[in-house]
């Protein structure tokens, strides 16, 4: 079943059936003012923090309500509906709608009883308020007298949890005023100067520009009426908001305007919402008296986002691939990069910081699109590395480089809830920094001095050396990195001296990367040192972790093998196989065997399982995935983030068919026509998909904010499309389905434009027969940066 389609040209996803199996969301705004909106206008807004800066209320896990509602009423017949299908929910036989989710805007269109409505929702670029720009058109042949009523439900406290649960306090601190086309909400009104007991005065507004307010309401219960719902508010039934204000209990903003429309006539007006006092609100609202403001602001958003996305575009025979790479996977990468795991319809915003590994990986997803943004975040994450080389498991939003406590301090543990270092955190810096420098050519970055989280400072090179030291100073009994609190897999508690094959492979790879930097710096002694320890580490992994046709997952403290072929449960694990290839550790033969085992034992129609069989009766002490139902999350679910790694691994091996098979199985866009199975948005990755063992095989969960965005992006761009820049130039090494006859890539590479046309006359999966750059034949598929013109026509024959 399908509920919508991709509009590639406009970079929109268009939902034409509003009764989607879940709220299908979009992200509006910036870290300064964020707004999440569903295709039925459900969602919430916040300034700075989803948890502590909440402006409008949204009840999680409860049918996508409330939201940013515009009620419409025919004042001649008293019939009413909403500009989004919900909350009124008219019969879909009579009510037609289209929700256009675009890059940082959502336009919800509806047709009902001869009235066409469009509500364009957006947060203007670099601004901290939101706009609901409404246009009503009379498509009938008679004069229509209409009311439009904008409604939002304010929270009574900026803190989401307080607003929901501390009612003996929060119900008695909020009131509303009506002044000059606006509802003004004030919280803790009497606190004028500093905060009292941590509580400050807080002001919000909901205003109408471009049409006269006919009535208003600032009190939620008055607006809805007792025993009514968002589907049938008394104010809408009566066609009059009653001009009531709130004193205690629940505030809302509701503004009615009356519109007369002749046949064919349209009128436009805007509701504006923000966390501002009256003077600032007045200033903002003035701009929207000008009808052109919204069109200009929308264009600014489109130019900004499309400008970034256009830095890498593809045209391949797969529409699903094009839609994901050109727009939606990329846009999701920006959202994870910006919002981390802070706010979605699953994350309530209660996390008080950035997860180290997640954030460093999120950066990878945007490096090819916006290296300058990546750089800023890389610096930030380096400044959250402790002087012993380990990463802070959680980097607080208030992070203060040079002055932070660490997991060695009880105060850090108490504040963050993270009891210890994790084995993998700082090792993610290696692929991220390498990819950034290779993309940008900013080699000087390795000499830049960045503070450590707790004290001292060092060059980026020094930071990376210390990350190696961190792992080398914490080896387990076999000589591989100790498991510490956990590795990438949060559920895998191997014990402090347990050992993770995955982390050992990450470390092996990190050693390769640091050698590139050491070579740049002529650091011969260090190269000798790394060669020695890398050889030793590689031999240890091969000796202790390779088993016939797979790598085991690791050793539990005390020596128990995890993930052995003969184990009754969890005998096959995905990540050590993909990372054996990515890290460059496995021989060609081992790689082929391990990847084949993955396909044979872990693959499903919806992607590759994280391990198999699930734990049920044979879990070791520390296998926390046992807590999940079989086929779910880390317990043999299809964890989505590792799909990107297996795509990359297959592509690096030149297995284009397999790489694409894995892309296709796990790509949201490929499930567009099976939305009833997948449930989640067909345009964004989720954290995991239920697998064998679940009665809902194929159902995905935890939308938008997931590391999957970046790993799949890297798997597709570096892997399938074969974009492999290094310090001096770029290698073009696609690994694609053998039946792709040709495809195109356009890429901005350090300010130079690459127009790449690839042909595949002989049906290969990878490889290069010949390549030309601006008509000149190349020796192989590598181009030195210095040989590039501003615009380059590149042809590659596979």
> Which residues form the catalytic set?
490
Among 128, 159, 489, 603, interactor with ligand NOJ by CB under 6 A: 489
Q: Give the nearest distance from C-beta 358 to ligand NOJ in angstroms.
A: 5
In the complex, the smallest distance separating the C-beta of residue 698 from ligand NOJ, rounded to whole angstroms, is: 20
Out of 64, 153, 297, 358, name the contact with ligand NOJ by CB under 6 A: 358
- Piece of the chain touching ligand NOJ by CB under 6 A; list 77-85, 322-330, 443-451, 487-495: 487-495
User: Shortest gap between Cβ of 337 and ligand NOJ (angstroms)?
Assistant: 14
Q: Shortest gap between Cβ of 513 and ligand NOJ (angstroms)?
A: 20
Among 6, 33, 80, 488, binds ligand NOJ (CB under 6 A): 488
Distance CA 682, CA 207 (A): 34
334 DSSP 8-state letter: H
Beta strands 752-759; 791-797: pairing state = parallel
Whole-number minimum distance, CB 223 to ligand NOJ, in Å? Answer: 39
Q: Which is nearer to ligand NOJ, 182 or 357 (CB)?
A: 357
Of residues 723-762, those binding ligand NOJ (CB under 6 A)? none
Stretch that binds ligand NOJ, among 73-81, 105-113, 351-359, 671-679 (CB under 6 A): 351-359
Residues 6+ apart with CB under 8 A from 614: 569, 570, 625, 630, 631, 635, 636, 693
**Of 57, 334, 82, whose CA–CA distance to 185 is shortest?**
57
Closest to ligand NOJ by CB, 124 vs 391, is 391
List Cα–Cα distances, 756 to 218, 517, 772, in angstroms. 58, 29, 10
DSSP 3-state percent helix, strand, coil across the chain (nearest 5): 30, 30, 40
Q: What is the nearest approach in angstroms of ligand NOJ to the Cβ of residue 612?
A: 16
Site membership for ligand NOJ, residue 357 (CB under 6 A): yes
Span from 15-23, 62-70, 486-494, 513-521 in contact with ligand NOJ (CB under 6 A) = 486-494
Toward ligand NOJ, which CB reaches closer, 491 or 692? 491
CA angle, 47 as apex, 45 and 51 as ends, to 5°? Answer: 75
Site membership for ligand NOJ, residue 425 (CB under 6 A): no
Give CA–CA dist 487/475, Å, rounded.
14
Which range in 343-351, 353-361, 756-764, 782-790 contacts ligand NOJ by CB under 6 A? 353-361
Cβ neighbors of 121 (< 8 A, separation 6 or more) are: 28, 35, 37, 41, 68, 105, 106, 107, 108, 130, 131, 132, 133
Q: Which two tokens stand for residue 612?
A: 């198999």
Nearer to ligand NOJ, 357 or 466 (CB): 357
Tell me which of 355, 365, 390, 483 binds ligand NOJ, using CB under 6 A: 355
For ligand NOJ, which residue has the nearest CB?
490
Q: Decide if residue 485 touches ligand NOJ (CB under 6 A).
A: no
Considering only 146-154, 350-358, 372-380, 752-760, which stretch makes contact with ligand NOJ by CB under 6 A?
350-358
Identify which of residues 159 and 641 has a Cβ nearer to ligand NOJ in the complex.
641
Our finding on whether 490 is near ligand NOJ (CB under 6 A) is yes
**Residues pairing with 99 in the sheet:** 15, 108
Binding mask 5-44 for ligand NOJ (x = CB under 6 A): ----------------------------------------
Per DSSP, the three-state class of 460 is helix
Q: Is 75 in the site for ligand NOJ (CB under 6 A)?
A: no
Contacting range for ligand NOJ; rule: CB under 6 A; set: 132-140, 344-352, 389-397, 489-497: 489-497
CA dist 639 and 633 (Å) reads 6
CB of 625 to ligand NOJ, least distance (A): 9
Structure tokens that stand for 66 in this block: 């409330």
Number of residues that bind ligand NOJ (CB under 6 A): 9
Q: Are 514 and 468 in contact (CB under 8 A)?
A: yes
Report whether 37 contacts 121 (CB < 8 A).
yes
CB 640 to ligand NOJ: min, Å: 10
Q: Which is nearer to ligand NOJ, 355 or 698 (CB)?
A: 355
Residues 624-683 that bind ligand NOJ (CB under 6 A): 634
**Closest distance to ligand NOJ from the beta carbon of 753 (Å):** 36
The residue (of 140 and 346) whose beta carbon lies closer to ligand NOJ is 346
Q: Which is nearer to ligand NOJ, 106 or 711 (CB)?
A: 711
Show Cβ contacts of residue 33 under 8 Å, excluding neighbours closer than 6 positions: 45, 46, 47, 123, 127, 128, 129, 130, 274, 275
Choices 150-158, 261-269, 388-396, 485-493; region in contact with ligand NOJ by CB under 6 A: 485-493
> Which residue number, 354 or 517, has a Cβ lying nearer to ligand NOJ?
354
Nearest alpha-carbon partner for 271 in 31, 69, 42:
69
CA–CA distance, 553 with 692 (Å, rounded to integer):
21
Using CB under 6 A, which of the segments 27-35, 141-149, 354-362, 590-598 binds ligand NOJ?
Answer: 354-362
| Residues 681 to 720 in contact with ligand NOJ, rule: CB under 6 A | 707
Residue number with CB closer to ligand NOJ (241 or 610): 610
Q: H helices within 604-669, ranges in order?
A: 641-652, 656-666
Question: Which tokens belong to 325?
Answer: 């790479």
HEC letters along 189-252: CCCCCCCECCECCEEEEEEEECCCCCEEEEEHHHHHCCCCCCCCCHHHHHCCCCCECCECCCEE
Shortest Cβ 425–ligand NOJ spacing (Å): 9
Reference 328, options 534, 25, 776; nearest CA is 25
**According to CB under 6 A, which residues from 145 to 204 bind ligand NOJ?**
none
Beta strands in 335-410 (DSSP E): 353-355, 394-396
Whole-number minimum distance, CB 283 to ligand NOJ, in Å? 40
Contacts of 368 (CB under 8 A, 6+ apart): 311, 312, 439, 717, 723, 747
Q: Does an H or E element contain 438, and which?
A: helix 429-440
The residue among 55 and 610 lying less far from ligand NOJ, judged by its C-beta, is 610
In the complex, which residues of this chain contact ligand NOJ (CB under 6 A)?
355, 357-358, 488-491, 634, 707
């Amino acid at each position: 079943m399908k509920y919508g389609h991709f509009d590639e040209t406009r970079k929109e996803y268009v939902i034409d059936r509003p009764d989607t199996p879940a709220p299908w969301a979009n992200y509006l705004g910036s870290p300064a003012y964020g707004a999440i909106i569903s295709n039925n206008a459900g969602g919430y807004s916040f300034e700075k923090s989803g948890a502590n800066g909440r402006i409008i209320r949204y009840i999680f896990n409860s049918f996508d309500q409330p939201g940013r509602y515009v009620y419409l009423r025919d004042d001649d017949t008293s019939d009413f509906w909403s500009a989004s299908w919900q909350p009124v929910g008219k019969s879909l036989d009579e009510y037609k709608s289209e929700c256009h989710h675009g890059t940082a805007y959502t336009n919800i269109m509806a047709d009902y009883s001869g009235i066409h409505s469009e509500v364009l929702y957006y947060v203007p670029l670099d601004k901290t308020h939101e706009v609901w720009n409404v246009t009503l058109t009379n498509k009938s042949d008679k004069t229509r007298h209409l009311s439009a009523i904008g409604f939002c439900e304010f929270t009574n406290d900026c803190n989401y949890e307080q607003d929901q649960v501390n009612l003996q306090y929060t119900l008695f601190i909020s009131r509303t005023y009506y002044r000059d086309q606006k509802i003004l909400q004030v919280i803790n009104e009497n606190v004028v100067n500093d905060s009292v007991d941590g509580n400050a005065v807080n002001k919000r507004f909901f205003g109408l520009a471009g049409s006269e307010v006919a009535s208003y309401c600032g009190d939620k219960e008055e607006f809805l009426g007792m025993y009514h719902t968002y589907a049938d508010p008394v104010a809408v039934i009566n066609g009059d908001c009653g001009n009531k204000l709130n004193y205690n209990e629940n505030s809302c903003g509701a503004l009615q305007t009356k519109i007369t429309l002749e046949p064919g006539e349209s009128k436009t007006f805007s509701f504006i919402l923000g966390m501002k006092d009256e003077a600032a609100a007045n200033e903002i609202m003035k701009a929207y008296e000008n009808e052109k403001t919204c069109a200009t602001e929308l264009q600014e958003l489109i130019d900004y986002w499309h400008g970034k996305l256009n830095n890498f575009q593809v045209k391949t025979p797969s529409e699903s691939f094009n839609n994901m790479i050109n727009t939606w996977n990329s846009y999701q990468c920006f959202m994870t990069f910006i919002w981390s795991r802070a706010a979605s319809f699953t994350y309530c915003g209660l996390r008080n910081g950035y997860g180290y590994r997640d954030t460093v990986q999120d950066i990878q997803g945007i490096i090819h699109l916006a290296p300058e943004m990546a750089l800023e975040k890389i610096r930030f994450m380096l400044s959250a590395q402790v002087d012993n080389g380990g990463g802070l498991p959680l980097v607080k939003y208030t992070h203060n480089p040079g002055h932070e406590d660490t997991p060695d301090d009880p105060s850090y543990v108490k504040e963050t809830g993270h009891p210890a270092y994790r084995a993998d955190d700082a090792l993610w810096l290696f692929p991220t920094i390498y990819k950034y420098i290779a993309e940008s050519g900013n080699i000087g970055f390795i000499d830049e001095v960045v503070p450590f989280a707790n004290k001292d400072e060092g060059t980026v090179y020094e930071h990376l050396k210390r990350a190696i030291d961190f792992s080398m100073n914490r080896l387990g009994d076999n000589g591989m990195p100790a498991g510490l609190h956990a590795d990438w897999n949060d559920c895998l508690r191997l014990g402090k001296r347990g050992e993770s094959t995955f982390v050992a492979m990450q470390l092996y790879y990190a050693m390769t990367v640091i050698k590139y930097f050491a070579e740049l710096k002529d650091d011969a002694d260090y190269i000798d040192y790394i060669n020695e320890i890398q050889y030793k580490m590689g031999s240890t992994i091969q000796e202790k972790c390779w088993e016939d046709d797979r790598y085991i997952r690791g050793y539990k403290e005390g020596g128990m093998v995890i993930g052995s072929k003969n184990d009754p449960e969890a005998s096959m694990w995905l990540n050590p196989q993909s990372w054996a290839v990515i890290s460059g550790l496995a021989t060609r033969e081992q790689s082929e065997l391990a990847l084949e085992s993955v396909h044979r034992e872990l693959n499903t129609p919806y992607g590759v399982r994280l391990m198999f069989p699930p734990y049920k009766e044979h879990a070791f002490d520390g296998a926390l995935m046992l807590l999940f139902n079989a086929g779910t999350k880390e317990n043999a679910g299809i964890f989505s983030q590792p799909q990107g790694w297996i795509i990359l691994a297959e592509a690096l091996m030149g297995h284009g068919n397999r790489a694409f098979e894995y892309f296709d199985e796990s790509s949201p866009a490929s499930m567009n026509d099976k939305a009833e199975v997948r449930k989640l948005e067909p345009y964004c990755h989720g954290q995991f998909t239920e697998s064998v063992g679940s009665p809902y095989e194929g159902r995905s969960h935890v939308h938008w904010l997931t590391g999957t965005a970046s790993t799949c992006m890297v798997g597709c761009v570096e892997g399938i499309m074969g974009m492999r820049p290094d310090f001096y130039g770029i290698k073009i090494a696609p690994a694609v389905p053998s039946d792709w006859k040709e495809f195109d890539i356009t890429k901005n590479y350090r300010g130079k434009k690459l127009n790449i046309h690839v042909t595949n006359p002989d049906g290969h999966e990878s490889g290069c027969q010949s390549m030309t750059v601006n008509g000149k034949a190349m020796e192989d598929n590598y181009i030195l940066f210095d040989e590039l013109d501003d615009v380059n026509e590149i042809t590659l024959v596979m």
